[in-house]
Amino acid sequence: MAFYLMRFSYTPETWAKLIQNPEDRRDAARAYIEQVGGALHGFWYGFGEYDAYAIFEAPDNVSMAGVVLAITAGGALASAETTVLLSVEETLEALAKGKSIGYRRPGESAATS
């Protein structure tokens, strides 16, 4: 299973509704991700570019994309961004694979042996 960081902001209308009727949105986020066999690992609010941050675990990118699409289609968010998170082990594996790939910058000639 993969981990994902979702950053999002509510619309002013959503904030107005939450002020009138405060609710713990972790419950909703948990219910959405569990429908695809995933889990919610954390949910925070903050100041800055985004209003809230959530860490999800999902079986695959398609499952997570389905959750994000369902949430954003609801109209309560002004913006949303989701990032796939790699573990340290996955990053080390990617570094090892990257070592064997012969990258050439644009405009450079191919290496000759």
Mind listing the pLDDT tens digit for each residue in 60-106? 999 999 999 999 999 999 999 999 999 999 999 999 999 989 888 89
Tell me the CATH number for domain 2-87. Answer: 3.30.70.1060
Our CA dihedral for 76, 69, 2, 52, rounded to 10 degrees, sits at -10
Q: CA 94, CA 45: separation in Å to the nearest integer?
A: 32
Domain boundaries defined on the chain:
2-87
Tell me the pLDDT band of 28, cut-offs 50, 70 and 90.
Answer: very high
Mind listing the pLDDT tens digit for each residue in 35-68? 999 999 999 999 999 999 999 999 999 999 999 9
Please name the residue ranges forming H helices in the chain.
Answer: 12-20, 25-34, 61-73, 88-99
The angle at the Cα of 5, spanning 48 to 66, to the nearest 5 degrees, equals: 120
Strand partners for 82: 6
